[in-house]
Chains A and B, each alone.
Chain A
Amino acid sequence: MKQANHDDFQRWLHEKTRAAEPEVSAEFLAAQRRAIYRRLDEPRHKFSTRWALSLATVVLVLAGGLTLERRRPAAPAISDEQLFSDLSAMEQRTEPKAIQPIHSLFEE
């Protein structure tokens, strides 16, 4: 039943699309041909405007990214000894890290 409805609608649609053939004026087609000939005669640019715009956008985004990256403050440098001592202190800590904030409640 569904297939029959589908086929019937398809036939109707086909009939309607064929019936609604739009008229295109001869003047419009002639003007379009002239535009095509004009474009055929133009020298072919290696890079189109669209490509140039895309390239400019990419350059701008990259430049912006680099500027932001430079502005970001550098992380404070610490010595290797300091780093190792901090790491070993963290490793030797028996208390779970999650309960550390509770200690601060009892500190004066």
Chain B
Amino acid sequence: MADIAAPSSVAGTGDSRSSLHKLMQRKSTVAFLMALPLILLISILVAYPAGYAVYLATLNKGMTRFVGFGNFEFLFGRDTFWLVVYQSCLFAITAVIFKALIGFVVAHFVHNIPSKGQRKWRGMLLVPWVIPPAMSTLAWLWLFDPSYSAINYLLAPLGIERIPWTGEAGWARFSVILVNVWIGSPFFMIMYLAALKSVPEQLYEAAAIDGATWWQRIWYVTLPMMRNIIAITALFSLIVTFANFDIVRVLTAGGPLNSTHIFGTWAFRVGIEGGDIPLGASVSLFMVPILAVAAAFILRDITKRGSEV
């Protein structure tokens, strides 16, 4: 290295530029090497499998023959598939809306109370997010138990008959959404609370001077200021909820009669348990369009924020 650098320094005028160029080149090589493990990991264990899933989806069950769109045609002709599409959308959209609403409301209540108590409440309300979902869903499964349901016990004095939480299609759909909302709304609460704290107090003072009601304050001050964070959080959550597995798998395992299956759990049932890997891959690929749209919006929002700053 020293040998090469020496003549260029003798050369005079062009020296600083060429040695700078060398430095840049060297720096970029070092940087590339430093990022190499990340690149390898992503390409071998994420990018390649994702592409491989597309290839797998075009094979027959024994993975011996290319069938093109045969698996997709087969899926379109099955009622269960449309049930899964319907349930996935219902599950994801309803759950995200309720998570966002509850998160927003709870964030406001936490924001309202004196700041020295906020930490304690925030800590308590975030617990559902910290417990591994598979384990907290087990607790819900036990709370929903058909013969010893502790929730039904509490509801009995209110005159509510035994509710078949996981036994009947409608209630089972409600239950999986309820558990998802329980796990996910603390995340929204934290995000919204952080956003609420970043809204300048002067805006509320100005609104109060103009005689705004509390509703007008939320509608014209809080919501516009938080719009970006609300959008990003909801899109993030939409992706995670849409691709959910743990809750449905533990709580209902897709039952009763496939009514609570979503793409992830049905792909597992068909692909791993049913042994039809290409069909399972086809099922899971149906998540891609929605994920791609949500990801595109998130990226747009994030780059927009980047250019604002």
Are chains A and B native binding partners rather than an unrelated pairing? no
Which B residues have a C-beta under 8 Å from some C-beta of A?
none
